[in-house]
Chains A and B, each alone.
Chain A
């Protein structure tokens, strides 16, 4: 009840035999709707792999990922369909903005790709929440790191996703801007009723989450 995302015995192994690397080893976790969860671990602890599997970007070696009870990797199910239907937003460390189009175009890009109409009031509110009003017609290269990440957040939220995954969203930012970006992610998710899953190696960031999941060598140490 209220569980939006569930991983069951989730594994990802690379290689075979003695060469085998267990990137994610038998992870079970549940994320409640509207929760802000931080997945914390050192680099190489498998947190990115875990996030990619949770978000439908990478097929697990074994185990299940259920979004609202539906297994996204079940045979015959195209994970991308679920993606489109259930709507998942992604924020990456490297922002991944399209450099040749302006901020506004970057924000509404996912809508265009999906052939959806633009929900003007919502997009406007998003732009104001993220303080991008004055930068709308700038190209990404004219923005600071923090600004670029705010554009990326707007782009992730524009489709009104149920779950927002952020993979080291503050990796390239200084500590003050990091605090701000996380606060904004949290505020937006709270405001629009979204579930937020953040990956970070930064304990300071993790403190702001409702719950922390600590990952070590591909296993959950503390829930």
Chain B
């Protein structure tokens, strides 16, 4: 585009030059003709009248009549010739300068075009190099780094450089996350095997004793019961693991819908309600600033209710009988804040950063006596982060814990 523009500028400048020269030559030519005529009139038969007519009516160029007296007096080639020579010389001079100027401009134009072509070639070369670097970095997974070879005098390349750098970042990110996923899957398999081993060993031991046939009926019932307990545990564990693996290996994509958040919370509350009623724990749902319209939030109702169930289950599990679990929903400017407050065993400050880790369980005897795999809160955090939200926990005074979930409205 730049080249076409330059071409236009050069052409129009040249044309302008030619026109100016022609315009200058025309009056010069006229004035020579007038001078010639005046001379002729002055030498004519009746100079007085002729000159008077000339002055009154302006120049009249009607042929050879006026030139006759000049010729008679022998001025054929001298003065008139000189005038003509001057005229031709001027025209010649004008033509020469025009030609020179045109050649100069043409040279400049060619030079510029050449320079442009070289620049373009350099740019293309540079872009190719950068793209090659990018391609290599895709193989090695690294970022292709900052280019130090950016040609100094080509500011238009900075834009491309920026875009390429961003693209390379993106590729690096995708690669890194793919790698992290793979590592994560490996770690997950290891974790799962460890988690499965304990109940499996217990089951195996009880089963062997049952098979030995040397047990009293009471013992027999006891080990049968133990088998059942371990099988329930295995069942729970596999269910939870299945969920984790689905969420983690990216097999499940969130299906984000703009639906009432209240319905999702209600689903979660209904799921834990039977357990809460057994322990006579009241579940209170408070919607602050009760609006006329239900609060619509962009989320996946199924997964988010899963996350809430996990938190609420813990709240009920680790709370003494006849206490209260409070859920508050507060609409903020561009997010929604859900708080789940219980009056349970609470959380130690040093555990605050560990509570959301996979398979982590507190050392507290009270925690150990409850059945659990250390998956619920981990899963809850994963789900909430997939919603671009955050979750944190704090100790609630005088006793209990408070989970704060923040979700962007959409």
Contact = CB atoms under 8 A, between A and B. Distances in A.
B320 interface: no
A33 interface: yes
Contacts, number: 101
A9 interface: no
Interface residues of B, number: 39
Given A68-B146, A190-B388, A131 B333 contact: yes
B270 interface: no
Nearest to B391: A208
Interface stretch (B98-106, B162-170, B220-228): B162-170
A59 interface: no
Interface residues of A, number: 38
Given A180-B406, A186-B390, A70 B145 contact: yes
A204 interface: yes
Nearest to A212: B353
Residues of B contacting A: mostly = mixed
B408 A183 contact: yes
A34 B177 contact: yes
Given A1-B176, A33-B173, A187-B408, A69 B145 contact: yes
A183 B404 CA distance: 11
Interface string B136-149: 00001111011000
Nearest to B330: A176
B393 interface: yes
A129 B408 contact: yes
B349 to A, nearest CB: 8
A208 B392 contact: yes
A176 B337 contact: yes
Given A2-B176, A34-B173, A187-B389, A86 B406 contact: no
A207 B352 contact: yes
Contact of B146 (A70, A160, A190): A70
Interface of B: 140-143, 145-146, 158, 161-162, 165-166, 169-170, 172-173, 175-177, 179, 330, 332-335, 337, 352-353, 388-394, 404, 406-409
